[in-house]
Amino acid sequence: MNCLTVDFGSTFTKIAAIDMDRAEVLATAGAFTTIDSDITEGFYCALTNLQSELSDFRYDELFCCSSAAGGLKMAALGLVPELTAKAAKTAASSAGAKVVKTFSYEIQKKEQDEIFQINPDLVLLCGGTDGGNKEVIIANAKKLCAIARDFTVIVAGNKIAADQLEKIFRHANRDFVMTENVMPTFNQLNIEPAKECIKDLFIRKIVDAKGLSKIRKMTSRDIIPTPLAVMNGCELYSQGSKNIPGIGDLMAVDIGGATTDIYSMSHGLPSFSNVMVKGIPEPFSKRTVEGDLGMRYSLSSLVEALNIEHLAQELGESEAFVREWIAKCCAQPETLADNAGATMRVEAFLARRAIEIAVERHCGTVDRVFTPAGEVFALSGKDLSEVQHVIGIGGVLINNNDPAFILQGVQNDDTYSRYLKPKHPAYLLDKRYVFASLALLAELDPDLALTMMKKEMIPI
């Protein structure tokens, strides 16, 4: 039995021909993603490239995922920043959405205008534990209805307000979905129901909006967000299937043209003593997405976070050369670096810095706190310092002659750093860019998917 997998990325469409009986990737191919015209053009171009290598390949099943045009764009609203607002962002990110902005408390005119400018596909509306504050979520519902944009609202807040919220959205003729509270009681996360709603809405609404309706007719399987496929793959690789063990705690770095996504499969418990843990409990499976750290479509915002003069000095190149390359990549996202040339080194330094920033935003932090009983350490987020494996995913990694240098951006080399990044991880590379594609097979056969993923992730 053969299958074809398709990963519609923001820059490139990647396809893989798979012999499921032999658990083998027969060949892979790619083409530039044709977002501005018809996304199927890039698909058929990639398929033509594949058939030049496998002229007689026929497939029985088609599996697809997509993050084209930056994926599913969302805004999240909660009550308290450290509690329900963070829970809302966690739920949205874990479902594969790109959370552009999180808002707290009752939004004002300025924030309504900001949501209008963001023009999200979905808005996740949360706020209040069950039986707690309901005034803020009700006020925010009314203000969302006044925003003249065609987004769907997922309501996942205080259940006491549910009846009134339903009336508000129906009266405003606003598309909405009601689901369970993301934080029903204090410090208790319940993100799975909201996660399922986001996935379902992606399939129902966003797939067609991104031009995938023709592809959808070609498969009996759901087209899911690529980040959700990667999240599912990370969970499988970490925890194992029914018959095959996983490798334990891990981190995955997926650096693309529009975003840099970080995944961690770890409880993130403190690795040192005398610790005071702050904030809501972190989920075992966590994803963060950085929409300002991509290598093409958001390269200009990555550059804003860097010192280009210092970068050029490290590279031994002129600042003008570095800026010229960056300008070319921003103007022509399909641009590739010269093999083993100076532009490839520029790409490596840019990618490593993007990973450094993204991992620092993802992992936990520790600060010294002095109390009457002496010094203690305040931990916020997940302690990932003991994570043993890091998986590297993304075109800039597989097309560079030194992917290990880029991936070392995840590592904590500073004994006194407040960022709890992995100290001594082993690196695995998705050399053929098939991690998301293979994760899609888990829907059919988790053992097969995990077997193939272990074959394809190459130690570096």
By the 10 Å C-beta count (0-12 exposed, 13-18 middle, 19+ buried), 316 is classed as: exposed
- Name the more confident of 35 and 377: 377
* pLDDT of res. 447: 97
Q: What is the pLDDT of residue 360?
A: 95
Tokens of 127: 């706020």
Q: How sure is the predictor about 99, in pLDDT bands with cuts at 50, 70 and 90? A: confident
Write down the pLDDT at residue 174: 96
The model carries a pTM of 0.88
Dihedral pair phi/psi, residue 329, rounded to 5° = -65, -35
Domains of the chain from N-terminus onward: 2-69+210-222 (3.30.420.300), 72-201 (3.40.50.360), 250-433 (no CATH)
For the beta carbon of residue 386, count every other beta carbon within 10 angstroms.
15
Given a contact cutoff of 8 angstroms between Cβ atoms, the answer to whether 149 and 115 are in contact is yes
Q: For 19-32, what is the mean pLDDT? A: 95
- Helix (H/G/I), strand (E/B), else coil: 222: coil
Using alpha carbons, list the distances in angstroms from residue 286 to 227, 262, 267, 293, 312.
11, 8, 9, 18, 34
- Supply the mean pLDDT for the chain: 92
User: If we measure between CA atoms, which residue out of 401, 436, 162 comes closest to residue 287?
Assistant: 436
Q: CB within 8 A of 184, min separation 6: which ones? A: 129, 130, 159, 190
How confident is the model at residue 78, as a pLDDT?
Answer: 93
What is the Cα 96 distance to its own chain's centre?
A: 6
The span from the CA of 11 to the CA of 399, in Å, is: 14
Residue 70 pLDDT greater than 80, yes or no:
no
**Most confident residue range from 84-93, 106-115, 337-346, 407-416:** 106-115
Q: What average pLDDT does the segment 430-459 reach?
A: 96
Is residue 28 predicted with pLDDT exceeding 90? yes
Q: How do residues 242-288 score in pLDDT, each as one tens digit? A: 999 999 999 999 998 888 999 999 999 999 888 888 888 899 999 99
Look at residue 120 in the predicted model and tell me its pLDDT: 93
Q: Which residues pair with 152 in a beta bridge?
A: 122
Lowest mean pLDDT among 42-51, 121-130, 325-334: 325-334
